[in-house]
Structure 1
């Protein structure tokens, strides 16, 4: 199974202390200062060892928005929903979203997310595998129901793609089936731009075909040879061009996620934020 990968863009300004807000952020009203965050899976090992200390380092980079990910210590790296909220509050950050599975503990997952103050709860992998149109229609029904469950707790439900959703069956792109059979009011898509291009598609085509359906992005550059994430500017994603379509996307928050790195997650994030700054 493909591993979950999230990629976020931060308003390049917010990062690393004294960085200046890039012009494309101020020009594009869809992406505002403070709406760029990081997916904590990027720091998965560090979060498992020392969640609070790692969150402090992330805050020092300038990030204001956080997206958590399911880990061996639970959804909050051994912290309770209340304690991670307090830590983030104290550091001037928001736990904005979280990656989870739809499983037998789904009810508890939603209740925890509500307790943490999250705005979004994102399913990070298909609840049932089967690369067929019928399965994707069935999954769409599951997602609509999950959206109803979340809405009762004032949370927005969504789904994060990988590359396999862009395979075809019966002359239909399976991701398109998912889009066509989910209720836009209940299912808010988090588009991983890196995995879209690995899947052979162009994110901009989706912004145009399904305007307003993608309030969350994982901004992630991809090494198209190795099919894995890399630092910004070293892969096949035209980041500057993507950002020009944030309004069509309905973008609210961008999360940077990088799963592979040459040195360390911290150094990769510094590189990525510097890259975003220089786009301005």
Structure 2
């Protein structure tokens, strides 16, 4: 059986990263993670960060880089992450006007092709990280499926976030097989409770949204293995894909644990099934 290397998306522990970036990466390594996925680098020099990761034995496998940041200077931004040593750059989110069938969508497609071509100069693959809004139906299909139809697997890989796939109404174990040939990195994320339609305040996208809607079981992100997701089943599906890395992400803490404690719970659980 294949044992996948596991990275932590550092957004999960951003509160600690803000205080001690390198020290937090070391703690993540000491927990047993094989790699990290960046969500910002706090102004660090690329080569110095690459050297630090090498010195402690952790792989800087990927980075979430905002579409706007990439477009600010495609060659310079891609080169920066190439110097860190990432193998993947994932666009983490799209503003509404950039989404499939919206007013800037055609421009987005052209720009993604440019970004992807620049990434390939360094052996980097470009991917897209979904939320649940991509499961809106446009032109008779999910917006996410349209995006992946309008771009080739060579131009854009998936970074399927399996929590948001579930919240969007699909079975993660089944849906990932649709992209078995373009799923090199997969986000393992767990949750409990019921989505209330005001999700994005939970991840800081809409600060004005009210997340206090009363439900019997309010939505919350959970450490992997502590929520609703059926990860043994999901892992069996992942084995049928071209997946190379699992990336753990937890957008907000829960269960009275700190973000680092949540990350530790996740890797402890994965070690029981990923072997």
Taking only aligned residues, the RMSD between alpha carbons, in angstroms, comes to: 2.0
Q: CA deviation at 1:196?
A: 0.6
Q: Secondary structure at the match of 1:201?
A: coil
The question of 1:270 aligning with 2:264 is answered: yes
* Uncovered stretches (5+) of structure 2, i.e. residues with no partner: 195-217
SS in 1 for 2:76: helix
Distance 1:174 1:231, change over 3 A: same
Given the superposition, is the C-alpha separation of residues 251 and 132 from structure 1 closer, same or farther in structure 2, using an over 3 Å criterion? closer
Tell me the equivalent position of 2:24.
54
Aligned partner of residue 245 in structure 1, secondary structure: helix
Residue 181 of structure 2 corresponds to 212
Distance 1:163 1:106, change over 3 A: same
**Alignment partner of 2:140 out of 160, 171, 196:** 171
Aligned twin of 1:79: 44
Mapped pair 1:106 → 2:74? yes
TM-score by length of 2: 0.82
**Cα separation, 2, equivalents of 1:131 and 1:122:** 16
* Structure 1 residue 171 displacement after superposition: 2.3
Higher RCO, 1 or 2 (CA under 8 Å, sep at least 6)?
1
Q: Which runs of 5+ in 1 are unaligned?
A: 1-26, 71-75
Distance (Å, rounded) in 1 between the aligned partners of 2:26 and 2:180: 36
Is 1:126 matched with 2:126?
no
Aligned residues: 245
Query: Could you tell me whether the CA contact under 8 Å between 1:198 and 1:222 is conserved in 2?
Result: no
Q: TM-score, normalised by structure 1?
A: 0.81
Match of 1:115 in 2: 83
> For 2:153 and 2:11, how far apart are their aligned partners in 1?
27
Partner of 1:154: 123
Structure 1 residue 67 corresponds to structure 2 residue 37: yes
